[in-house]
Amino acid sequence: MHFDENKPVDFVLNDLFEHYRKNVADVDKITKALLDRQVVQSQDDIVNDHIAFRTLGVPHLGIQSFEKIFLAFGYTKKDYFHFEGKKLNAYWYAPAIEGYPRIFVSELRVNELSQAAQDIIYKYTAQITSDPVDDLDLNNGPEVAAFLQQPLWGLPTSEEYETLLAESEYAAWVIYNRYYLNHYTISIHELKDGYNTLEEFNAFLESIGVKLNTSGGKIKTSEDGLLRQSSTVSALYDAKFADDKTIQIAGSYVEFAERSVLPQSKDLPKEEIESKHRRDGFETNNADKIFESTYTTQIKG
């Protein structure tokens, strides 16, 4: 992607990525190994399939508030997904311009949690009585970028965090990590031969010591067989809580997507294949397992 710092969407995507890259060691580790093997010539050669955010489904903080940022950037709201067991909703958003990442935004169905968990979440979020996004100038890239790094609510105690974690790993993740980028996604099918299938790419990742999410198998495959995804498992980070206790918690991870050419375009010569000829969108059963990239069961398993 060519980066134009005067374009709000470019500034925001770039800033999100820079913070994420500094925090998630696997990002640079993977880029460096791809450079060393001359699979790519620079980070810019890596196509970002999508980025993802997590939110709390309470007034002023859920999808309907958060999405205003990307709708203002010209993104189009697409399919709805429901994750019953995990108590989540999600939508994906298509970019206005080809080459920009899709956006995946999920939200916790807070009112389905126990009263104890709801009380903790509302203790920290009830003070927010209007959409924080409404106070932003969405044409101002640096202002939106700063907003996405800024905590909107106070830190819980370690005990509150543990209570949430026991009931919903997603709730615990959001209460601490907030709107920080949850993952970016490398488009595997755009890479050169030897690296452009998930089997090959996962073997490369494991050869450089990257740990993969195994929930539902390392490769998650859509029902039509055309969208295949894998992801790393988050590292653990020292996190300090309001009671001054430090515990190790999950942060962000990296995802890998292989989008196959649609049946109606399968006879196109290779050099004519564009992203519109490939499987678009997301898949509930794949996503359900990818969420677990920040779960204790995957991190400690």
- Contact residues for Ni ion (CB under 5 A)? 52, 255
Q: Report the residue from 54, 87, 278, 279 that binds ligand OOG according to the rule CB under 6 A.
A: 54
Contact present, 250 and 234 (Cβ < 8 Å): yes
Contact present, 79 and 282 (Cβ < 8 Å): yes
The β-bridge relationship of strands 253-259 and 48-56 is unpaired
Supply the Cα-derived Rg of the chain in whole angstroms: 19
Closest CA to 246 of 300, 154, 149, 176: 176
Interaction of residue 94 with ligand OOG, rule CB under 6 A? no
Question: Residue 195 or residue 282: which is nearer to ligand OOG going by CB?
Answer: 282
Closest CA to 49 of 266, 280, 285: 280
Interaction of residue 20 with ligand OOG, rule CB under 6 A? no
- Residue 282's binding partner among ligand OOG, Ni ion, none (Cβ under 5 to 8 angstroms by kind) is ligand OOG
Segment near ligand OOG (CB under 6 A); pick from 57-65, 118-126, 194-202, 285-293:
285-293
Q: Report the residue from 158, 187, 286, 298 that binds ligand OOG according to the rule CB under 6 A.
A: 286
- Minimum CB separation from Ni ion for residue 67, in Å? 16
Closest CA to 129 of 40, 224, 61: 61
Report the phi/psi class of residue 178: left, alpha or beta, with left for phi > 0 and alpha for psi in -120 to 50. left
Interaction of residue 52 with ligand OOG, rule CB under 6 A? yes
136: Cβ contacts below 8 Å, ≥ 6 apart: 69, 143, 144, 147
- Minimum CB separation from ligand OOG for residue 255, in Å? 6
The β-bridge relationship of strands 253-259 and 183-187 is parallel
Query: Going residue by residue from 195 to 234, which x/- string records binding to ligand OOG, judged by CB under 6 A?
Result: ----------------------------------x-----
- Residue 286's binding partner among Ni ion, ligand OOG, none (Cβ under 5 to 8 angstroms by kind) is ligand OOG
Interaction of residue 51 with ligand OOG, rule CB under 6 A? no
- Sequence-ordered alpha helix ranges (H) in 217-277: none
Cα(216)–Cα(235) distance, integer angstroms? 20
- Minimum CB separation from ligand OOG for residue 294, in Å? 6
Which chain residues interact with ligand OOG by CB under 6 A? 52, 54, 104, 106, 182, 229, 255, 282, 286-287, 290-291, 293
